[in-house]
Structure 1
Amino acid sequence: MNDTSTGNPGTLARGLDIVERVAAAPGTTVQRLATDLGLSRSAAYRIVGALRERGYLVGETELRAGPVVLRLGLQAMDGLDIYTVGPEPLRELVAETEETAFIAVLDDDQMCYVMQEEGPQVVKVVSKLGSRAPLHASALGKAYLAALPAAEAEAVVDRIPLTGYTAATLTTPAALHADLARTRTAGWALDDAEREPGVRCVAAAVRGAGERPVAAISVAGPRDRIVAAQPAIVTAVRRTAARLSAALGAAPPPDLP
């Protein structure tokens, strides 16, 4: 951005807001950005122009994230230890379960998908890298929450919206806390059509040094298919999570062979 824009912290914040909006909703127009962010059209055009010049945005009428955003995102993921150690175990998990597997990390009280390995089935579950899953309505989120110290998990549950997505979504703190207690005992989390009808997901937390969760790994697929193979999938997910955790400096769970 030019000297005038960079000299104003408010303008910098607006520029970041614009990049985030466009990344989340490709095809957004400058007029829509101005309306959503409370900017004048002239200010919106000026900031978008500066971002376009630097490669953060591309497009004229419909805006999209530019190559600089992609490059920075890839560089950021390269800096994540889980991104370094995750690919091979993720591929092996898919080979074992024949279902799509994911790794996600915490991002602003949501789980952000950073890795995905698609299963070989014709009918399968996939997610867009960079998209987010709610903590309370995803196996990834519940696995991560359950791995936090109990008081910390309770504080998170108290502040996040427990939005209902399907009839199976846990929308009360009591129901979610009960599910997290089961997850802590079992060592794995379940999403039984709680965010998407007909989809079932099994997940486990990945821990780092100090035993804190740093990510979660999951396998997802059509509900009937996951139910039929669930014991084997649970074992595979937990073993893969333990393998990743060990690579990141955590001790293996005592109940895993």
Structure 2
Amino acid sequence: MPANDTRTVGSVQRTCRIIEILQAKGETRITDLSEEVEFSKSTVHGHLATLVNEGLVVKDDHTYRLSLQFLDIAESLKNRIADHNIVRERVRELAEETGEVVHFGVEENGRVVYLAKSKGNAAVRTESKIGKQMPMHSTSLGKAILAEFPRDRVECIVQQQELAKRTKNTLTNLESLHEDLDTIEERGYSIDDEENIPGVRCIGIAVTVPEADVLGALSISGPSQRITDDRIENELHEQLAQAANVIEVNSMYS
């Protein structure tokens, strides 16, 4: 439900905020949590007690942390999108083959969410992690997915999320984005040309199955000096396409 919907429930929003803080901090005390979320200690205690009773939060002495039940929730969600074992294996193998960082992501609420990540032996350090959300217009994953969407859906996402400038190369107007999506459709893959992180280029490809929505996208990321146009066209594009095909075929017949 949209955040501005008048039917939202304040107590549930407070609980969600507490869960977000626990995720970010790992573990914390009621006093610190109360200051962070700006609720009274008694209010925070009530929410935590309920979460503990439901098995979503664990209390260790005077600190609280998220329970491992979230792992079960995460696994069930990942497996609803695609065969996660196949995705994870192909991402790992692709990282080994290329030596770079490989991601698999999906669209949710107009953002791209990382579901799998693996680093090759020459990979650069990135802040990406499983579950992290990123803009679609500045990432190769996001643009590969957007290119598969009807243009009216793209415009709705842009209206909702806007086109924030992340680097000097980020596409920040709808016309430029549409032109890039047209190019992606023609050549079959997307390029993040230092549009999300300075010095890093990425190539992405959508993962689709007939008579269904887009499953997600695969990407390879690395330093600009290694992710050259020549390497993209003559090596990385084909490797990505083969990996995507394996995931697509297994998703069709699983």
TM-score, reference length from structure 1: 0.81
Identical counterparts, % of pairs? 27
Instruction: Give the RMSD, CA atoms, in angstroms.
Output: 2.6
- 2:97 alignment partner in structure 1: 96
- 2:252 alignment partner in structure 1: 249
- Quote the offset at 1:87 in angstroms: 2.4
Closer, same or farther in 2 for the Cα pair 1:176/1:82, shift >3 Å? Answer: farther
Structure 2 alignment gaps of length 5 or more: 1-8
**Equivalents in 2 of 1:107, 1:57: separation in Å?**
25
Closer, same or farther in 2 for the Cα pair 1:18/1:189, shift >3 Å? Answer: same
- Quote the offset at 1:182 in angstroms: 1.0
* Aligned 1:1-257 pairs, distance under 5 A: 10-24=10-24, 26=26, 29-35=32-38, 39-58=39-58, 64-121=65-122, 123-125=124-126, 127-227=128-228, 229-231=231-233, 232-249=235-252
- 1:254 alignment partner in structure 2: none
The secondary structure found in structure 2 opposite 1:140 is helix
The number of residue pairs the alignment matches comes to 239
Closer, same or farther in 2 for the Cα pair 1:105/1:47, shift >3 Å? Answer: same
- Quote the offset at 1:226 in angstroms: 1.1
**Equivalents in 2 of 1:76, 1:170: separation in Å?**
31
Closer, same or farther in 2 for the Cα pair 1:157/1:10, shift >3 Å? Answer: closer
**Equivalents in 1 of 2:190, 2:62: separation in Å?**
44
Structure 1 alignment gaps of length 5 or more: 1-8, 251-257
**Equivalents in 2 of 1:217, 1:122: separation in Å?**
16
Per-residue Cα deviation, 1:110-150 (whole angstroms, up to 9, x for no partner):
11111112111164546211111111111000001001123
- Quote the offset at 1:21 in angstroms: 4.1
**Equivalents in 2 of 1:26, 1:136: separation in Å?**
31
The secondary structure found in structure 2 opposite 1:18 is helix
**Equivalents in 2 of 1:27, 1:128: separation in Å?**
19
- 2:5 alignment partner in structure 1: none
- Quote the offset at 1:69 in angstroms: 1.8
The answer as to whether partners of 1:204 and 1:217 remain within 8 angstroms in 2 is: yes
TM-score, reference length from structure 2: 0.82
The secondary structure found in structure 1 opposite 2:176 is helix
Closer, same or farther in 2 for the Cα pair 1:21/1:126, shift >3 Å? Answer: closer
Closer, same or farther in 2 for the Cα pair 1:187/1:198, shift >3 Å? Answer: same
Closer, same or farther in 2 for the Cα pair 1:178/1:22, shift >3 Å? Answer: farther
